[in-house]
Amino acid sequence: MNDDLWSAIGDPTRRTMIDLLLAGGSGTATTLAQELPVTRQAVAKHLAVLDRVGLVTGRTAGRERHYQIDEAQLAKAVAQLNAVGASWDARLRRIKRLAEAIERKRDRDG
Rounded to the nearest whole angstrom, what is the least distance from the CB of residue 109 to DNA in the complex? Answer: 32
* 50 touching DNA, by CB under 7 A: no
Stretch that binds a copy of itself, among 8-16, 30-38, 46-54, 59-67 (CB under 8 A): 8-16
Q: What is the nearest approach in angstroms of a copy of itself to the Cβ of residue 57?
A: 15
Smallest distance, DNA to C-beta of residue 42, A? 3
Alpha-carbon torsion (15, 18, 24, 28), positive or negative:
positive
Those residues whose C-beta lies under 8 Å from the C-beta of residue 8, and which sit 6 or more positions away, are 14, 49, 50, 53, 55, 77
